[in-house]
Amino acid sequence: MVETRSTPEAQDGAAVAVRAFGEVAIVRGGVPTPVPGAGRRALLALLASHVGRPVPVDAITEAMWPGGPPRSSAKVIQTYVSQLRPLLGDGVLRTVPAGYVLDLPRAHVDVGLFEDAAAACLAACPATLEQLEAASALRVGAPYPDVALPFAEAEAARLDGLHQAVRVARLERQVAEGAAAAAVPELEERASREPSDERVGAILMEALAAVGRRGDALRAHERLRAALADELGVEPDPSIERRYLELLRAHEDGRVADPTPVRAAAPRRAGTAGAAWLPAERGTLIGREDELGRVSDLLATERCVTIVGAGGSGKTRLALRVAHLASSAREVRWVSLAGLADGSRVVQHTMRAVGLPEQIARTPLPVLLERLAPTDTLLVLDNCEHVADGVARLIDALLGACPGVAVLTTSRTPLHAVGEQRWRIPTLGVPTADTPDAVMACASGRLFVERARRADPDLELTAAAAVHVAAICRRLDGVPLALELAAARIGGIALAELDERLGASLVLLTSGGAAVPRHRTLRAAIAWSHELLTDAQRSLLARLSVFAAPFSADAVVTVCAEPGTEAASLIATLGDLVDASVVERSSGGRFRLLETVRQFAAERLGDDAPGVEKRHGEWVAASMSEVGARLMFETTRWYRRLDDLILDAELAFDRALARGDWACAARIGTGAGWSLINTGRYGVQSEWGERLASSGALEALEPAAAGPALQLSGAIANIDGRHDVALSRLAAAARAYAETEDAAGRLWVDYWRASALADQGLYAESHELGREACARAGGHPEAEAGLLAGLAEALAAAHVDASAGPRAWLDEAAEADARARDLCVRHGFEEMHARVDMTDALLLAHRGDPEAALARCVGELERWRGLGRGNRLAVALIAGSRVAWEARRPERARELVSEGLEMLDEAGWALPLGDAVEVAAGVVEDPAERARLLGASSVCMRTFRWHVACDVTSARREAEDALGREGFTRLAGEGAALSFDRVIAGARAATG
């Protein structure tokens, strides 16, 4: 039961309360007394935001004077403290070794009261409408409005986000309980203010449908879809799309929609698994109605269908339309292989498309097969011809292991996969006569006219015009891309002249070459269109071919500009290429080349290729370094940027190694720092590191470049449990940094060295190293925040592993965490801020209050889901499950550890497994399985990161009583001998 109170209350006559909503005030006997003086208000607000926890003096100084403290800052703080103490009463504002602490129960501070109530509501399954309304009512006014300092603004933003989450949960509950009419106005206002919020959009759709406004519900979906495409470059969650189709059918039929609502989607980060949702269709699919039915019919009987056809014949658009139609009945995953440079990466690329991270402890193919085996999935692999062998191997494995999976591929050539049903896409029908009716009766005529009117809206299909259109359609054999290239020239060239010039050119250009007429026709059409370009346009088109993925205008200027070319002129030329239909506009204001055009252009790069490829590599390296540098500030934004870059990064890395440009390869491989691991790309990051090492690049690099490469390689070894390797590579990185002036790099090496030591249980050594590094980290706030955060986690873990070791360890952990938080607030470190707040929540459990810790953890877990941070979220879930167990909430522990185990299984990550399996052993009821899991947990790896006590002694005793000491020992031994896969499978079965 979630309990809430409307105001902070004192528990006895001697106590007071603090109010921070509306204004900072001290409450005694229900009467608020405003705190005089901006400085005193700021200090009390800061202490209230840390109620019950020490705030170090240097943290107070940084928070109170973000622009730099005066010389007398320590004296000023002492004065403020002495002035506040009489107002608060004896013993409330205490001096402790770690600083100052506002020693009040959290319920005596209104922001703490609200935060706990809100977190408890969000943790409930589900909270009632009354509970949500009561929690929301606790927020009376804005928090800390009379404190104009960054720490107060950050706290206010965090509390506001929590309040918004409660309000949305309340609206969702209203709709579920039949009060949709009351919820609609606020939902519409929220959807207007935040159009890309999937959860609000989903609830609004349900609310509108519930009150009979199905048409408005459909329009709400379209607004959501457009906003997601524009802002994030993704499609709505598949559950929202399925519900949309149900509402659409009901609306068209005039019947009542199925009342089963869509589950409101969790906030989603663009690109984490961007290909897992179908891309938006570009324009109308013209003249493919019969083909659409034919391919759909084939997929109803065949498990592997390949649409074979020449480049530009419409394979992708047809496959995309088939996929959209199929998505209403089954799971559909789209995998674009254009731009993928190496067939050996097909499996990894496909894993990203189905939402799986790359594996840390396992080979990827078995994991992909395991994920797809129980599903009814249509997997669409687009543009396969250049990686045909890799695709064929994947299809063979899928058809053998996944009975519910069907595969639709597009390729210029057959894939020769076992069980492949090839279907060659026909050209569009051409006019049988030269009349307007005959032109519009055939698909190629309709396509040409529709595209030509984009270039010239005034085009009229007169009898004379129809003669030329019919001739053009026949000359181009009904090949869609060829027709679009020709149609794009209308407006600049008269229709009659276009017909004449095109005819003369095609006679020459199709006189030999490719054996298949459609290939000849398309290549001739591209060549003809290419010849119509100016020299500047042709040069730019060739240079654009170096990009593997859609590119921005800024990237074009950086990579493709010739000496002396102005940016404005280059962008104008890019616009000309768009007008000529040889470059397409993509989502998010970016551009792309169709693969057929890209290959044609690449053949004409000639002697410019080395220089342009080098500039492309330098652009990728700089972009990856920007991701690494900015990730800590706006984490989700820069994760999206990494998603945009990854294909170009893979291609540029390969090119750099091939030309022996070790420095460029190292910058690409290390510049983005930890972000590839964070976004589930362990395989790519690990491969880059090993290839740099095996190529001899690390020995050839200057120390400034070798240091980051060795550091990242050591960090990767750390997360997969190879601690000896990690320490060896980190020592080499330290030696490289010793030859440079990169003090921040040396600090990050020490961060990872301290982490590796703590993971081995060498807490004293880790503590000494961490403290020493922190002492020289001034002036490097990112590294200092990381070192302090790691020190706090290590000290808390040491406290646990020493069986509730010295209280001083927790005090020092709290002090380090508070210092790290203040750095995060001051400098805007988004992800690190979430990390230290999670540690702060867990410190409540370390101090013996698991209930309060659990309420805090729930809110922090939602925050981590929003960040999309895979590895850290997994550890947070496991820590939360251990807190829930200590709070005697076994079902909540089961729910959290089940999700954490799922993430470890998906990533193949063994390092935190011991803590997770221990919780699984506690919640499982079967004594034999409990014994096996306890045996497994005793030998599994563990990490110090967010390591929380979890006492399963009573669960162990129950299993021993049921099995007998000998039986328990035997089964525990069996568990200790299990492989990673067997352990995680058993733990998931126990908690599922």
DSSP string, 391-434: HHHHHHHHHHH-TTEEEEEEESS----TT-EEEEPPPPP--SSS
* Structure confidence at residue 274 as a pLDDT band (50, 70, 90): very low
Whole-angstrom distance, CA of residue 171 vs CA of residue 162: 14
Q: Given this model, what pLDDT does residue 244 score? A: 65
Domain chopping of the chain, boundaries: 1-177, 275-424, 436-532, 848-991
Angle at 172 (CA atoms; ends 169, 178), nearest 5 degrees: 140
Asked whether 46 and 60 are in contact (CB, 8 A), the reply is yes
Quick: pLDDT tens for 847-889. Answer: 999 999 999 998 888 888 877 667 889 999 999 999 999 999 9
Partners of 93 in beta bridges:
102
* Structure confidence at residue 734 as a pLDDT band (50, 70, 90): very high
The mean pLDDT value for 889-914 works out to 92
Rg (CA), the chain: 31
What does the DSSP 8-state code read for residue 661?
A: -
Of 72, 80, 25, 70, nearest in space to 48 by CA:
25
Whole-angstrom distance, CA of residue 960 vs CA of residue 548: 60
Tokens for 565? 């070319």
Q: Given this model, what pLDDT does residue 520 score? A: 67
Partners of 405 in beta bridges:
377
State the DSSP H helix or E strand holding residue 409, giving kind and residue range, or none if neither: strand 405-411
In terms of pLDDT, which residue wins out, 451 or 341? 451
Whole-angstrom distance, CA of residue 91 vs CA of residue 94: 6
Residue 466 pLDDT exceeds 90 = yes
Q: What is the mean pLDDT of the chain?
A: 85
Q: What is 275-424's CATH superfamily?
A: P-loop containing nucleotide triphosphate hydrolases (3.40.50.300)
Quick: pLDDT tens for 644-662. Answer: 899 999 999 999 999 999 9
Residue 233 pLDDT exceeds 80 = no
| Lowest mean pLDDT segment, chosen from 545-559, 604-618, 699-713 | 699-713
* Structure confidence at residue 988 as a pLDDT band (50, 70, 90): very high
Whether the link from the prior residue into 32 is cis, omega within 30° of 0, is no
Whole-angstrom distance, CA of residue 37 vs CA of residue 80: 9
Q: Given this model, what pLDDT does residue 884 score? A: 95
Residue 697 pLDDT exceeds 50 = yes
Asked whether 834 and 860 are in contact (CB, 8 A), the reply is yes
Q: Given this model, what pLDDT does residue 124 score? A: 63
Tokens for 202? 């989903």
- In 3-state terms, what secondary structure has residue 641? helix
Tokens for 792? 């706090």
Quick: pLDDT tens for 740-773. Answer: 888 999 999 999 999 999 999 999 999 999 999 9
Quick: pLDDT tens for 509-550. Answer: 444 444 445 556 777 888 888 888 899 999 999 999 999 988
Quick: pLDDT tens for 576-587. Answer: 888 888 888 876
Partners of 423 in beta bridges:
307
The mean pLDDT value for 492-518 works out to 66
Residue 395 pLDDT exceeds 70 = yes
Residue 469 pLDDT exceeds 80 = yes
Tokens for 230? 């524009």
Q: How many helices (H) and strands (E) does the chain have?
A: 45, 12
Cβ neighbours of residue 55 closer than 8 Å, sequence gap 6 or more? 46, 47, 99, 100, 101, 818
Quick: pLDDT tens for 314-366. Answer: 899 899 999 988 888 888 999 989 888 788 889 988 988 887 877 887 888 98
Q: Give percent above pLDDT 90 in the chain.
A: 37
CATH number corresponding to 1-177:
1.10.10.10
Tokens for 328? 């209403």
Of 144, 265, 250, nearest in space to 197 by CA:
265
Residue 231 pLDDT exceeds 70 = no
Q: Given this model, what pLDDT does residue 456 score? A: 84
Partners of 334 in beta bridges:
380
One-letter amino acid of 15: A
Q: Given this model, what pLDDT does residue 265 score? A: 39
Residue 792 pLDDT exceeds 80 = yes
Residue 159 pLDDT exceeds 80 = yes
Residues 440-464 as b/e (b if ≥16 CB within 10 A, e otherwise) read eebbbbbbbbebbbbbeeebebeee
Q: How buried is residue 825: exposed, middle or buried, by Cβ count under 10 Å (0-12/13-18/19+)?
A: buried
Whole-angstrom distance, CA of residue 622 vs CA of residue 652: 12
Q: Given this model, what pLDDT does residue 13 score? A: 42
